[in-house]
Amino acid sequence: MSDALFRNEPVSSTPYVADGVSIRLAAPLKRYSLRARTADALETVLNVKVPQKIGATEGGIACLGPDEWLLRTPAEAAMPTGTGLPVAITDISERSICLVLEGPRAAEVLMTGCPLDLDNFAVGRATRTIYETVEIIIIREGEDRFHVEVWRSFAAWLWTAFTTAASH
């Protein structure tokens, strides 16, 4: 990961604070796309527990699809390559950034453009979905706290959309 001095983030590093909700850029994360036919195959390679059910998260790993997981970790991790095994582990750390929405109005702000029923989206769940026309990954970290993963090139637009929604 590049030195923090040289990072050029697409959104403001100053949190946006409105009535009932704040929006801020999360600290840089390492991200890995994990692909395998089964969670068991990945567990063998990674030697950690991997969630089986789509939408479930465990130990920083979110199950996004029947053969796709996303691992997010704050620190540089020594990842096994799984050479010779039917798994694919890809470093996608700089593909996306994470916006953190926090406060009693966090779900309301997300639902201005996301069609999911977030009132019935349990804490600990994660999913890929869409906000207006921008693909995002939502992770409900707490009752009033959501992590929103978005590809870098869409982040500036999403920041504007979120802060505009929060200001109303």
Which region among 4-12, 21-29, 74-82, 124-132 touches other proteins (by CB under 8 A)? 124-132
Token duo for residue 30 = 């390492």
Closer CB to other proteins, residue 10 or residue 55? 55
Q: How far apart are CA 83 and CA 87, in angstroms?
A: 8
Q: Does 116 bind other proteins (CB under 8 A)?
A: yes
Q: Does 130 bind other proteins (CB under 8 A)?
A: yes
How are beta strands 126-131 and 16-18 bridged, if at all? unpaired
Closer CB to other proteins, residue 104 or residue 115? 115
Closer CB to other proteins, residue 18 or residue 64? 64
Residues whose CB falls within 8 Å of the CB of residue 24, separated by 6 or more in sequence, listed in order: 15, 16, 99, 100, 102
Please give the order of strands across the beta sheet that includes 87-91.
57-58, 61-65, 68-73, 30-36, 87-91
Closer CB to other proteins, residue 83 or residue 133? 133
Q: Does 128 bind other proteins (CB under 8 A)?
A: yes
Binding residues for other proteins, per CB under 8 A? 54-55, 64-66, 68, 115-116, 127-130, 135
